[in-house]
Amino acid sequence: MCGIVGIRSKNKHGFVNFDNLDLAVNSLIHRGPDNQSGKQYTNVALGHTRLAVIDTDDAANQPFEDDRYSLVFNGEVYNFKDIRRSMLEKGTVFLTKSDTEVLFKLLIEKREKALDDINGCFAFAFYDRLDDYLLIARDRLGIKPLFIYEDENQMIFSSELKSLLQLEIDRSLNLDGLANYFRLTYFNEDRTLFKHIKKLLPGCFYEFVGEKVPRLKQYYDLVPDQKFEGNYEYAKFELRNRLNNSIKRRLVSDVPLGTFLSGGIDSTIVSALAKYQKHDLKTFSIGFEHEYFDETKYARIAAERIGSNHEEIMLGKKEFRENFEEFLDALDEPFGDSSSFAMYLLAKYAKRQVSVCLSGDGADELFGGYRKHYADHYIRTANKGKRRLIGLIGATAGLVPTSRSNSIGDKSRKIQKLKKGMEMTHDRRYYEWCTFISEKDKKGLLSFDSREGYDDFFDTSTIVTFDDFNDVLFSDQKMLLPNDMLKKVDLMSMASALEVRTPFLDHLVVDFVNTLPSEFKVNELGGKRILKDTFRNELPDEIVNRPKSGFEIPIEEWLGDILEDLFNEEMFSESFIKKQGLFQWNTIQKLKEVNLAKGGGDKIYLIWSLIVFQYWYKNNLAE
């Protein structure tokens, strides 16, 4: 994995200031500590920071170029050996053993059609200096990020948003995007905090040829054209085969490799299948001193079952206080998923021994593994009696304070959420369950009106009807997965120059799973039906039968200990808030009075997201 940055003039002989390219490149060094380089051409400049994983020789450094073509590439092409073998048979000469050169030669031969041949995670820019042809592209599922800035004179792209802020750009804020962030804790679709910066969507490429109008095109869609017509037993056989092959492709590495092992179903399957092929497998997990959030018991059971060399890191209030500011500094844009803190420390710890880790990310979105998936299925299939019962229980639960740090408060929160969900249409429920603060709280916080809301959320994000439960999964794969889950993993792992590979998100696995009927995935017993049944022999009973536990941290308790100090900082002063002009001061005052020790409920998301945003704003935008 690496970091890439580039600048292109929109006018053939137009002037673009390349002077700060080195600053943009240097801001990505954490993504690629092994080499940093940049090249300037007539009206294009390309920069790269390298984390050497495949063919660590300097000959594979980037920009990778010959006398006509140049390439900067972040990611991995997992089937590069197969492509290389095929090209060798046709007489292609290779000077390295890297996947970078394979991609380079494939793009010379096929240009954008090469995307159909690639199995991997990637964001790249390919430049033909003779034809003044620039192709930038992002992988099918959005595993690797790519931000794009445009104005009338130039187009700039980078692996991280903060890298773009090193250059001369318009920093006008996108207020609808900011409202979107506070509702979701992340920026959805192609939105960012800035009007002129967008994310290239997964499965898309952007093509520039001379002074022609650029072409933005989607080359991949994860919603299948056909449905699976086989039986359940054959589906299990095919799933095992495809996932095995996916893991085999992702074990190719010229540097030490391990896996994340949480003790959940997904990471246990990945680790078990990897152990079959890599006998000295290292596994890493993270635990919490807070018993309600700790899963290390299950991780140890899984590690003992598969026979891995297992290590774990335990987190408590002390580790939170010591690493909190460093964690905030690692965020390239405001990102309010609190579990990213745990991912940051897990990656930092694992990097001491390995440079690559496999993870179980993506399985929840493919197979219906979240609690909200089972809840949605329950509502869809509940009879009048069950609905009446949930209504009564929900009314009683409303008398219990909600909390995310204890069992009773958390159950109260979930039951109340289920009760409200029963009263909504499928699409409205999906939207509400994606958000973390209410419309009322959003309006109370922000000092401006925005068009962020239900109608805007579904403008372009999905074309599904939500009549079938699979539509919920497709929507999660389009929105939640690339913008939250994969964003978290990429950002937090690359902060420590650790490459994370996601076998469940091999597009050959995704393409197959998405054709399966929803009853293969979720039923009255819960989610991940076919995944559990296919790999039951690899899973200890304690893990198969354990209730679903989200990857969360005890933020009410941890944040409560330092909240007073944080709120006393300049970024929460009346003068700063009013000069900033984004928030209502009276709401900030009220948030300062929230006592997290008594349970913050969903208010904790608002407080956490606000702290993250203010810290980022103060360090990157405040004058």
Q: 20 and 133 share a domain?
A: yes
Asked if residues 350 and 260 have their Cβ atoms less than 8 Å apart, the reply is yes
User: For residue 400, is it within any domain?
Assistant: no
Q: 234 and 323 share a domain?
A: yes
User: For residue 402, is it within any domain?
Assistant: no
Q: 188 and 82 share a domain?
A: yes
Alpha helices (runs of H) in 219-295, residue ranges in sequence order: 232-250, 265-277
Q: What is the mean pLDDT of each run of 10 residues along the chain (623 residues)?
A: 91 69 94 94 93 92 96 97 96 96 98 97 97 97 97 94 94 95 94 97 96 93 92 98 98 96 95 95 90 82 95 92 95 95 96 97 97 92 81 66 63 80 89 89 92 71 74 94 97 97 98 97 93 94 77 80 89 95 95 74 86 96 82
Cα separation, 482 vs 202, in Å, equals: 8
User: What's residue 406's pLDDT?
Assistant: 63
- Token code pair at residue 579: 């000069």
Q: 229 and 211 share a domain?
A: no
User: For residue 382, is it within any domain?
Assistant: no
User: What's residue 384's pLDDT?
Assistant: 80
Cα separation, 622 vs 620, in Å, equals: 6
CA nearest to 68, candidates 43, 48, 92, 41: 41
CA nearest to 204, candidates 132, 145, 129: 145
Last residue of a domain, one of 218, 233, 250: 218
User: For residue 388, is it within any domain?
Assistant: no
Q: 239 and 300 share a domain?
A: yes
* Domain count for the chain: 2
Owner of token pair 């409920």? 601
Q: Is the dihedral of CA 248, 260, 504, 549 positive or negative?
A: positive
Q: 283 and 304 share a domain?
A: yes
One-letter amino acid of 589: Q
User: What's residue 609's pLDDT?
Assistant: 95
User: What's residue 398's pLDDT?
Assistant: 60
* Interacting residues of 238 by C-beta distance below 8 A, sequence separation 6+: 230, 512
Q: 213 and 226 share a domain?
A: no
Q: How far is CA 137 from CA 140, 220, 362, 379, in A?
A: 9, 11, 21, 40
Q: 65 and 205 share a domain?
A: yes
- Token code pair at residue 539: 């899973």
Q: 183 and 332 share a domain?
A: no
Cα separation, 219 vs 143, in Å, equals: 16
Q: 249 and 289 share a domain?
A: yes
Owner of token pair 């903060």? 162
Last residue of a domain, one of 218, 237, 270: 218
One-letter amino acid of 147: F
**CATH number of the domain bearing residue 163:** 3.60.20.10
- Token code pair at residue 98: 């890297």
**CATH number of the domain bearing residue 332:** 3.40.50.620
Q: 293 and 190 share a domain?
A: no
Last residue of a domain, one of 190, 218, 246: 218
Q: Is the dihedral of CA 352, 357, 362, 364 positive or negative?
A: negative
User: What's residue 461's pLDDT?
Assistant: 47
* Interacting residues of 578 by C-beta distance below 8 A, sequence separation 6+: 585
- Measured in Å, how far apart are the chain's first and last C-alpha atoms? 34
- Token code pair at residue 23: 């600053």
User: For residue 396, is it within any domain?
Assistant: no
The upper half-sphere exposure of residue 356, i.e. CA atoms within 13 Å in the direction of its Cβ, equals 23
Cα separation, 65 vs 522, in Å, equals: 49
CA nearest to 313, candidates 261, 274, 270: 261
Cα separation, 122 vs 114, in Å, equals: 13
User: For residue 385, is it within any domain?
Assistant: no
Burial of 468 (0-12, 13-18, 19+ CB in 10 A): middle
User: What's residue 141's pLDDT?
Assistant: 97
CA nearest to 220, candidates 242, 205, 199: 205
What is the residue range of 166's domain? 2-218
Asked if residues 147 and 160 have their Cβ atoms less than 8 Å apart, the reply is yes
User: For residue 387, is it within any domain?
Assistant: no
Q: 297 and 196 share a domain?
A: no
Asked if residues 218 and 201 have their Cβ atoms less than 8 Å apart, the reply is yes
User: For residue 320, is it within any domain?
Assistant: yes
Cα separation, 451 vs 456, in Å, equals: 7
